[in-house]
Amino acid sequence: MTSTPKNGPKLNWQAIWRDPSSTGFYVWGGMMSYSDTPPAKELWHFKVDGNGGGTWSQVTPASVVAFSKLTRTTEASFTQTDKWYTQQTTGSRPATRGNFCAVGASSTNDTYEIFLYGGGSTETGSVSGDVYVLSLPGFVFFKAAGSSAIRAGHTCVVVGEGGRQMLSIGGTDGSLGFPRSLTDPDPWKLGLGIFDMTEMRWSDGYDYQARPYESPDAVKQWYAQGGLDSVVWASEEVKALFSERIDQAAAAPTNSTSDPSPTEQSNAGSATSTPQGSQPSNPPIGTIVGAVVGGVVGLVLVICLVVFFLRRKRYQAAPQQETGGTPPEYEKPGSAQYGYNGPAGINALHEGYTDHFNPVELPAEHGAAELSSTHGRYELGQTVARPS
């Protein structure tokens, strides 16, 4: 393995996503020990040199956005229209969790799948090793058969020439608690695991020349059996966003690419005859849905993105301190705004985001236990006796 030094801050649980214009990638945010001073908000880029190495450089983002006032209790997706929409999901939906990783892949049958792996429950402390996939435009969840290494606080990226392999990096078994989870051995060599998203199974190794990604068989069958007819759209406006993809997904061929047994799915919809033929592929669904984020384990991935920002702000200096006492224009204290309404292109930064907070290894209540707010009462009594 080749190591490339980084002259920027070294943080845990950083968000990582590919650079669509090159073979490099970006990293953003992250967390450090609650006793350390957090670094400035910085976006870093790694440029691959083609020889197993590369160089790091700091870049200036189009906007630094803090979603400190954003909370949602229903499913949601963010599109390049700079508006929020809600849409109910169906199928084998995962339970509520955090600390999972997620990646997205555009299929040859004009659907877009979001894969979700691992994560832990903030209520029970349990950690999962399950993999789920949310398929769009059907908004239906599927679950891979069996389970793998339980992971939390890890990162996932799509790798390989064909874009069909998900690489899981690092993470811990958060159920062991802090600090035991930090010394628990990784289940894979160097903490790297490979998941074949088309076959819906874990692989023994990395294949750079693997065939291009296609939707898993269970996903294809759901569309072929008329699953889209069972979707209850939240509004005609939401349905219109996916109108082209709905027609193309319904007309796509259903050639088998994998063993259908690796998936479980509970909401297949009514069966109909299999559509014949296919239509030319239009641009990937990412051109319509810039940054669609699927379920926060029962809800939606976007809600977990929000939780990441809220948790991260507990470990960073307040915006007023960073700007010399003047809050940034995108987030003033007390603002009721739900988010940033800037250029649609910036939304793509959220496409590969994962939710990162640490309810198991590092409770957020540590700071409150350092100093009682009533200490002053014991330093000086309320009455002093006069000498006789």
Domain range list for the chain: 15-359
Complete DSSP assignment for 77-123: EE-TTS-EE----EESPPPS-BS-EEEEEE-TTS-EEEEEE--B-TT
Q: Residue 79: its pLDDT value, please?
A: 55
For the chain, what percent of residues have pLDDT higher than 70?
58
The tens digit of pLDDT for each residue in 363-373 reads 344 444 444 44
What letter represents residue 232's amino acid?
V
Q: What is the dihedral of CA 147, 140, 338, 323, to 10 degrees?
A: 40
The tens digit of pLDDT for each residue in 70-122 reads 545 545 555 566 788 899 999 999 988 888 999 999 998 889 999 999 999 87
pTM above 0.75, yes or no: no
Phi, psi values for residue 207, rounded to 5°: -120, 105
Q: Residue 38: its pLDDT value, please?
A: 76
CA of 91: how far to CAs of 140, 237, 242, 373, in Å? 5, 23, 19, 48
d(CA 250, CA 224): 6
Mean pLDDT along residues 9-16: 78
Q: Residue 363: its pLDDT value, please?
A: 39
The tens digit of pLDDT for each residue in 123-174 reads 777 899 999 999 999 999 999 998 889 999 898 999 988 899 999 999 999 8
Largest interatomic CA distance in the chain: 106
Phi, psi values for residue 135, rounded to 5°: -100, 135
d(CA 36, CA 39): 9
d(CA 126, CA 129): 10
The tens digit of pLDDT for each residue in 173-231 reads 988 888 888 889 999 998 999 999 999 999 999 998 899 999 999 999 999 999 999 99
Residue 78: alpha-carbon gap to chain centroid: 13
DSSP 172: B
Average pLDDT over the chain reads 70
